[in-house]
Amino acid sequence: MKLHSKNNANQEIGQKGEEQAVAFLANKGFKILDLNWRYRKYEIDIVAEQNNTLVIIEVKTRSSEQFGNPESFVNLQKQRFLIAAANAYVDQKQILNEIRFDIISIIHQNNEFKIEHIPDAFYPRV
């Protein structure tokens, strides 16, 4: 039972983090196209557009940096999932724009959000 409540707390922190990320991006002039877009087992947290570039954004929210920076949890496997989902998104929506992969790293402590935006966080490997 304890695990379930912790999972709900983590989901709540993640949801609040995504809401903060959307507001942050909107304030920076990004056009939000989709939230939590799914393709099979993959999910893109935020799909946005900035300066004619399609931006695929992974949001990582943590309550501390005890186990590392939130962005360090976007490992190679997660990057592959995001790239696969981005390919499906581009195919489905018939998008011809350049694509970029960003990470928004958020630490939520004491009811405050510390947001770091990392543009071009990784590149698809050929």
**Chain segment 25-37, per-residue pLDDT in tens:** 999 999 999 999 9
For 54, the 3-state DSSP assignment is strand
| Domain edges within the chain | 2-122
For 27, the 3-state DSSP assignment is helix
Task: Name the pLDDT band for 97 (thresholds 50, 70, 90).
Answer: very high
Lowest mean pLDDT among 24-33, 60-69, 72-81, 102-111: 60-69
Cα 37 from Cα 39, distance rounded (Å)? 7
Q: Which fold has domain 2-122?
A: Trna Endonuclease; Chain: A, domain 1 (3.40.1350)
Return the residue matching tokens 């900035």. Answer: 50
Average pLDDT estimate for 37-63: 94
Cα 94 from Cα 89, distance rounded (Å)? 8
Res 18 pLDDT > 70: yes
Task: Name the pLDDT band for 86 (thresholds 50, 70, 90).
Answer: very high
Query: What pLDDT is recorded for position 3?
Result: 42
Query: What pLDDT is recorded for position 120?
Result: 96
Mean pLDDT estimate for the chain: 88
Instruction: Report pTM.
Output: 0.87
Average pLDDT estimate for 54-60: 96
Q: Which of 56, 75, 64 is nearest to 106 (CA)?
A: 64
Query: What pLDDT is recorded for position 38?
Result: 95
Lowest mean pLDDT among 12-16, 19-23, 53-57, 67-71: 67-71
